Every structure is written in structure tokens, then in C-alpha cells.
A and B are shown apart, each in its own frame.
Chain A
Amino acid sequence: MDKTLKLGTSSTAKRRVQRLGYGLMTLAALVTVLPIVLIVVHIYSQGLPAISWEFLTAFPSDGMRAGGILPALVGTIWLTIGTAIVSVPLGIGAAVYLAEYAADNRWTRAIRIAIINLAGIPSVVYGLFGLGLFVLFLQFGTSIIAGSLTLAIMTLPVIISTTEEALRAVPNSFRVVSISLGGTQWQTIRRIVLPQALPGMLTGVILGLERAAGETAPILFTVAAFFLPRLPSSIFDSTMALPYHLFVISTQVPGMPVKIQYGTAVVLLSFVLGMNIIATIIRSRARARRQW
């Protein structure tokens, strides 16, 4: 009896401590989420009234103080596609090499550390690098190709490290079984490892591209035009792009209507959030279907 009673008291005290812990953690979560929610709500409430078919499909007019954002939207779409074309095959190839083929030695460890460090370099440095290499040295000029290559280099570390992680998450026993059934290493990778890692890889790819779509500094010197009254017609044209356009109309144009600024922010934010939501859906679907 006595024992049971003591047990009861101490567990009430413990439960109280536990409840306090949960409370604090919930608070921390709220403090983190709240600013994001506030920012998003604020921007959408100010900017949504500006959104119309006209706004998305018209060129800016009246020194960008009226009209739409078509060339910036199209430019960002082109840049994102160009970035993907370069960084996705390269990044996945590098990750497959590192995760599946490369021996674990000093050399591959050095490569991995380099990749992690690349991910931490400020984006303006990528911009200057792109200016030096693609715009000037390779003489691409300020162009979609120079901008895409610059963004691709910035995106590669994210794609490589998330893809490598996704590949490593595939249980090794699958590989051993496949090899024991007469599979070559490549057959094993193609038929078992890659399909299993695909959702994780897609998530990484989308997160990387999402960052590329939203960055200003890397495109500043390599592709972005202040104002262009036409759409780009080749990869060697420069183009307007949403993040830079937003910067321009927020800081460089006197007498700019606030509504257009917020409207542009809404479009950029929707572009990036949309990609984020797609990544989340892919991830949760895959988790539900996972067989290991």
C-alpha cells in the first residue's frame, strides 16, 4: 500500500515537470512559426488585391509604376528551368558517385567537406564568381546561360548532399540481396536504390531550385536586367527576374505604388512556397508508401 502511494505522488510531480517541458517546447515552436505566418499573411493581404490576369501577363508601363510583371515572371521561370537542367543531372551524378561508388578515403572526405562549405558561401560571392567566369572569361555576357550556370553552382551543394543522404537511407541489405541474385552494381542502383531514394532526391532538388528562384545576388551581375520591354528570345539574352525586379521597384523607383510592390512579392512568394508545398507532398506520400 505504502509503496503504491509513494509511486503515485512522485509520478504526479514528474507529470507536472513533463507538462511544463511540453509547454515550453510548444511556446518555442510558436515563437518560430509566428513571424513566418505574420509575414505571409501581411504580404498576401496587402498584395493579393494587385493580382489579376492583367498583372501577370502585361509588361510594366509608366516607368514600372503601372502594368504587370510578365517579363520578370517569365525570366524567373527560364532561370529556374536552366538551373535545373544543369544542376539536377550533375548533382545526382555526383551524389550517386559519392554514395555508391567512391571509397571512403581522405579524398572523398575532402570532397564532402568542400561541398558542405560551398553550401555556406554567401550568394553574392557566387554572383561575383559567375560574373568573372561566365560573363567575362567565357564571354557569355549577362545572359540566361550565365545566370543559370551561376545559380546551378550555388544549388549543386544542396542537391548533392540531400541526394546523397537519400541514397544512404536506402537499407544496405537491399543492395546485398540484389548483388547476391546476380545483379551488377549499376543494375542494383538503377532498379532498387534510385527508385527508393527518388522522393528524398526530389525533395532536395526542389528545395535547391526554390532557393535559386528566390535569390537576387547571384543574378545581379550575371543575367538580371533593370527593365527590358521584351521577352528573352535566346539563352544569350539577359532577362528581368522576379527577385531583382522586386528589389528594383522597392528601392530604385521613386513614386512606386505600394500595391504593385506587394503584388510582386506575392507572386515571388507563391512561386517559392508552391515548390515547397510540392516537395512536402512528395515526401509525405513517399513516407506513407515506404516499404521499409
Chain B
Amino acid sequence: MTTAASPNTPAAGPGQMESQAPNDQFEDTKIRIQGLSVGYSDGTESLQDISLDIPANQITVLFGPSGGGKSTLLRTINRLNDLADVVSLEGRVLIDGVDVLDPKLDVIELRRRVGMVFARPVVLPMSIRQNLTYGLELSGEKDPGQFEEAVERSLKASALWEEVYDRLDDPAVSLSGGQQQRLCLARVLALEPDVILLDEPTSGLDPISTGKVESSLQKLKQEYTIVLVPHSVQQAARVADYAAFFLNGQLVEFGMGKELFVHPQDSRTEDYIEGRFG
């Protein structure tokens, strides 16, 4: 079902593709999903036997029609789905070889290493600065120098520094929607995670804010592994190094972005990309 990216297409990241073996074996696989099935209490089997390798330091997009299970997959990776009514969970999700679905795993540590940005920007009811230091404080960090460093570094990385450096103690709600969403991204970056999950992070933003977020992501992928659910096929095609097409809980097709959006292998992928769907 999964289509391997062809080895002789130009690589998205320099030096990434040379040693790529068939069957999506990357030189540097960050997240390996094996036979993952997730079912909710209402009886829906939202993910069915998904196997997928997500490469490090690339942007991998998960796209497809509503209800396909994209958010479910993201929330399974950082175990946020522990909060939901999940009744059946099978398969493995390995991050750097460690099975994060292991019941004995330290989920707090996992969520620090796997940050998440949600569709609607939810800033916490506190100042801009406190939003950024919140995660560090929870982890027991007390050094004000560390806080200072994290605030500046994360705001610069999310392209927000210029706009807010002189009002860090203002309430975070005083920011515009686009600024709030970049603050949410910065809040995740402040924790220096390995992986960043983004679930339609620009769905409520204007094109300019969307552009800022997208260009931040292009820079961030040098340090982080990014998994993004885009809010449109256009965005998917713009940002994807790799892309996975989900339909009704199944992974239809996976491949390099440049390949998949130009020459989809599966007719269902093609229909969706061309807008002939539903």
C-alpha cells in the first residue's frame, strides 16, 4: 500500500537520500510507526494498521479528507490521546527506537520532547513571557538566565521577536491571532523538543501570517523533525518534504512531496489532489 520514494529523485535535504533503502528506510528515521490501529469508544476504527517511517530533520505532512485519522495519529505520537476515549490501541510508535506507547513510559518527558501546536491558537491566561517559560517551570527549571535565553531564542525562531520584544510582560491575549499562533509555536520551541507536531496550525490565519509560520518551519527543520497536518492541499504541496495521504483511517500513499504531488501513484490520491473528491 505504501509507495517508496524513488531513490534517484533529487533529495529535499542535502545528503539525505543517497543511502535510502527501499520501503521507506531512511538513513535517519526519527519516528517509526508499525502496524498502528486506534479505535475510539464510539466504535470508529480511526487508524487501521498504519506503518510509516518519518525521517529526521524533514517536514512530513499528513494530509487527506476530514476524519481520515490525521489528528489521531499526531495525538498518538505524543500520547495526548491518553486523554481521549481510546478503547483499542495496537501496534508500535518508536521514536529513536523507543516505543512511546509502552505503558511504563514517562509520558511527561515524552511530551516535553514531542511538542504540539494546535489548530486554534490557545495562549495561556498569562503574559507572553510566562507562556514561554511555563513548560520550563513545570520541568523544575528555576534559573532566570535559562528563562531569558529560552524566551529570546524561541521568539526569534518563530519570527515573533521583532514584534514583541518590548512588551513581553503584556497579556498574551493582547496579541493578534497570527501572533498568538507563532507564540504557541515559540512556547513549544522553548522546551527544545526533538519533534514538533502541528495540527492545521495556520487554519485560522491570514496568508501573511501563514507565510511567516511556513518559513519558520523551513528553518526549524534543520534542528527538529516536523510533522504537519496542513489546512489545504496547496499548503501540503508547498511545505512537504515527505507526504502521507490518509483516507478513512488508512494510509493510501507515502512518498516525497515533490513526487507525490506531481505523480501520485494511487488514483484516490490523485483525485483528492486534483480536487475531485467527495
Contact = CB atoms under 8 A, between A and B. Distances in A.
Interface of A: 171, 173-174, 176-184, 187, 191-192, 196, 290-292
Contacts of B125: 174, 192, 196, 290-292
A290 B187 CA distance: 21
B120 A181 contact: no
B83 A176 contact: yes
Contacts of A171: 122
A292 B191 CA distance: 25
B171 interface: yes
Interface residues of B, number: 25
18 contacts: A171-B122, A176-B122, A177-B124, A179-B83, A180-B118, A181-B111, A182-B109, A182-B112, A182-B138, A182-B139, A183-B135, A184-B138, A191-B134, A192-B124, A291-B125, A291-B171, A292-B125, A292-B173
Interface string B159-173: 000000000000111
B173 A178 contact: no
Contacts of A176: 80, 83, 118, 122
A184 B109 CA distance: 10
Contacts of A196: 125
B108 interface: yes
Contacts of B108: 182-184
A178 B83 CA distance: 12
B191 A180 contact: no
A183 B80 contact: no
Q: Which of A177, A179, A183 has the most CB of B within 10 A?
A: A177
Contacts of B173: 291-292
A166 to B, nearest CB: 14
A182 B122 contact: no
B247 interface: no
A173 B120 contact: yes
A192 B137 CA distance: 13
Given A174-B124, A291-B125, A292-B125, A179 B171 contact: no
B37 interface: no
Interface in B192-234: none
B78 interface: yes
Contacts of B116: 180
Given A187-B138, A291-B173, A292-B173, A180 B124 contact: no
Given A176-B83, A196-B125, A181 B78 contact: no
B111 A178 contact: no
Contacts of A177: 118, 122, 124, 184
A103 B201 CA distance: 31
Nearest to A195: B125
A193 B116 CA distance: 20
Contact of B122 (A174, A183, A290): A174
Contacts of A179: 80, 83, 111
A176 B188 CA distance: 13
Contacts of B80: 176, 179-180
Contact of A183 (B78, B138, B172, B187): B138
Interface string B120-135: 1010110000000011
Nearest to A182: B112
Nearest to A173: B122
Contacts of A174: 122, 124-125
A182 B141 CA distance: 13
A122 B120 CA distance: 48
A287 to B, nearest CB: 13
Contacts of B115: 180-181
A291 B112 CA distance: 26
B187 A181 contact: yes
A181 B135 contact: yes
Contact of A178 (B134, B139, B172, B184): B134
A154 B206 CA distance: 54
A178 B135 CA distance: 8
Nearest to B187: A181
A177 B131 CA distance: 11
A181 B183 CA distance: 13
Q: Which of A182, A183, A192 has the most CB of B within 10 A?
A: A182
